[in-house]
Chain A
Amino acid sequence: MEILKTEGITKDFPGVRALDHVDFELQKGEIHGIVGENGAGKSTFVKILSGVYPPTEGKIFIDGKSVSFSSPKDAHGLIGVVHQERELVPTFTGAQNLFLGQEVSKLGFVQQKQIYRLGKEFVKRFDLPVELDVPVRELSSGKQELITILKVLFRKPPVLIFDEPTASLSVKEAEALFRLIRSLKTEGVSVIYISHNLQEVLSLCDRITVFRNGKKVATNDASSLTQATLIRHMIAKDLEHQYPKRFIPVGSEVFRVENYTCMDFHLTHISFHIKGGEIVGFAGLVGSGRTELAKAIFTGHPYDEGALFLKGKPIKIGSVRNAIKNGIVMIPENRREEGIIGTFSVEENLTLPNMREVSVYGFKQQRKIEELVSRIIQAFSIRLVSPKQRITKLSGGNQQKVSLGKWLEKDAVLWIFDEPTQGIDVETKSEIYTIMGDLASKGAGIWFISSDLRELTAISDRIYVMCASTIVDEFQRPFDMEKILRAMHGKEASEGIHAF
């Protein structure tokens, strides 16, 4: 019998269809894995199930009854979600956090002893390695997560969703979590389990559904799947034409990093180089250090060891300003938080790094600004009503073009793109690949970080793989996606693949 069912769930964001008619079934007492690459629609699906977003189209059934959630609160008793973010009061103990909102009290006085007793029983039942009597801020992030999970369990929802639960857990904690999930299954709780770690999903789940590009690709029994077949499902083969790739004769070296170690960002012994006209991909799982590396270098963060060379000459970066002055620019990963200024107009955003060029004695020259802005808008075909409009009124793809367009006239020799196509529509994606190709053809080196392996292998000339904050491998064209994936997952996963 199915406890949860969706019919034709579709979600449109401005300019992007994040989910496209997803039909999904969760059986009672089943552990159901969902896998897919970043941007495949997994998180959007969870957010719709848990009432964070309403679907644009489609229906959700629980126990055969159609339900609609207008807020996460509506979904609370039915569907419990363990997010990557923890919702704990850091100064409260584990037990106090567990009972927050449902305090055991007598005449308005919280019954502390009772709370600890109930909490301990609960922890014992699931055999979890967690202390309940210390403030949670003193616990490791893994233990904090286990408490978050207990808190969700406490509401006894019939459906539980785990979204990347093991990302911050130690091996021991992860094992405890798997035991917990299996024992929940025997109690008839149904679980949706989302993870990048295919190994985990395969060993834990009964059935596995693959998402790709907002669509459900397949649902299969886990016993009939291997890591290789899953990866094949996750990667579409028929989309090559979406990736306009120009092959440009590679020039001389633009940027080289030797034995770079920066303990503040946990980066150790990293060496790589980027040549003019070359698009160099950086693959790796979230948290593998790709973004940290780019940021540490671009912001000129003090480092412990190593040397940087720009066009063959040693360079000390020291500050963002100096990076830009030397022709290094970055389009950061989180557009909203780092790439654009939401209170500014498109024009103001585009001029920000170019203020010196469009001003005389410190005063803005409106005519110069308008010329600059219209050149950028044309070059990148940014679609807008007027340059004076608030940037937040543009679609995600056009906001991203502003985020990279502001660097157009800086004559940069090294462009760092961190997840430039995340959350934007397919059409703009391919425009951005074209822009990257154009920049490369003018001799710039492109440092391209992406979690979307398809685009990474389609657009890059060479790929470095990062894992555990260092570069673990380098690949040349033609790329073998499975090998890259294995390198991304590190030693553990590659051993796992041999076992299959």
Chain B
Amino acid sequence: MHFKENLGLLTRYGTILALILLFLSFSLFIPGFVDPENLMNILRQIALLLIIAEGFTMVLIVGELDLSFANVASLASVMVAGLIIRNVPYGWSILLTLLVGAGFGLLNGFFITRIGISSLITTLSTGIIASGLVYLYTKGVSFYGNMPEGFLYLGRGTILGIPFLVLIMLLVLVAAHILVTKTVVGIYMQATGGNPLAAYLSGVPIAFYKLLGMVICGVSAAFTGILLTARLGAANPEGAAGFLMEGFAIVLLGQTVFTLGKSTPIGTFVGALIIGILNNGLTLLGAQYYVQDIVKGIIMILSVVIASLYSKREGKG
């Protein structure tokens, strides 16, 4: 009985508590961790991950899955680089690339809502297609070349000492939060994911909102790919591949933040902070990258275990 009550508390505030504990212990034990530059560094490091994960969060909110977003981001990354190197104005390059991202979202949404294929299979397939297009376009080599200052500023510039990427990230976070919690569209998206049948019978056009979730995710993946190229000044075919696993890790963590099993933009942000702090702290400690992977894997499993324990408890109560 006590265990169960504690579990409820633990799951409600546990993730935020874990974030605070992690932050405090790293501050105490890792020299240089709390330096303002390092903290800003953490935010800069999670910026791209959070932007792509907020898109993925929308997909989860409408009750679907997306396995293609990392490959779409890679495609966007090489596409925008290729266009710019071929002297297409960078404004147009960005716009075209975003449209390709939206196109992938539409394609995913079409198969899911019109044909009725599961999002898992659909996005696995379109993800492979995106990856194939990357290699078709690049022949497997990275793109280097002169890119205009204005474009590189997106990924490297600062305003009053704050990296532009961090500002974009905060903007995306706030926009996502407002969209989900304050607008009609957001409520309809949540209803679609919460109980599609009931939402449908309440007059919500659920196919549209599922499609919308997929499109937002495609656009945010493309946007992330563009920013990645702007940060690196180059693009390589596997550049965004790591976002898939990391993206999953932070949204799963995010689902333990407020209401278990429910994705929220802020929850995803908390997840991203935890992963960002862990990566940073472990690097400062000199841990190898594979140690970080092991730690992240353990955290993912733990967050899912807590969620399933809690849902069993809910089921019985």
Contact = CB atoms under 8 A, between A and B. Distances in A.
Contacts of A343: 190, 194-195, 259, 262
B200 A364 contact: no
B173 interface: no
Contacts of A77: none
A362 B183 contact: yes
Contacts of A364: 182-184, 187
Given A320-B203, A332-B198, A343-B262, 14 more contacts: A299-B201, A339-B201, A341-B191, A341-B198, A342-B194, A343-B195, A355-B188, A356-B184, A362-B183, A362-B184, A363-B183, A364-B184, A364-B187, A406-B202
Nearest to B196: A341
A344 interface: yes
Interface residues of A, number: 28
B184 A321 contact: no
Contacts of B203: 320-321, 323-324, 353
Chain A, interface SS category = mixed
B197 interface: yes
A352 interface: yes
Interface residues of B, number: 21
**What are the 10 tightest A-B residue pairs by CB atom distance, in nearest-first order?**
A343-B194, A341-B194, A341-B195, A355-B184, A324-B203, A353-B202, A321-B203, A352-B202, A359-B184, A320-B203
Contacts of A495: none
Interface string A335-353: 0011111111000100111
B191 A344 contact: yes
Interface string B247-279: 000000000000100100000000000000000
10 contacts: A339-B198, A339-B201, A341-B195, A341-B199, A343-B195, A352-B191, A355-B187, A362-B185, A364-B182, A406-B202
Contacts of A344: 190-191, 194
A337 B184 contact: no
B187 A338 contact: no
Nearest to A295: B201
Contact of B197 (A319, A324, A337, A406): A337
Chain B, interface SS category = helix
Given A363-B182, A364-B187, A330 B199 contact: no
A299, A324, A341, A362 pick with most chain B CB within 10 angstroms: A341
Given A332-B201, A338-B201, A348 B262 contact: no
Given A344-B191, A355-B188, A337 B198 contact: yes
B272 to A, nearest CB: 23
A330 B183 contact: no
Contacts of A342: 194-195
Contacts of A352: 187, 191, 199, 202, 204
Interface in A302-350: 319-321, 323-324, 330, 332, 337-344, 348
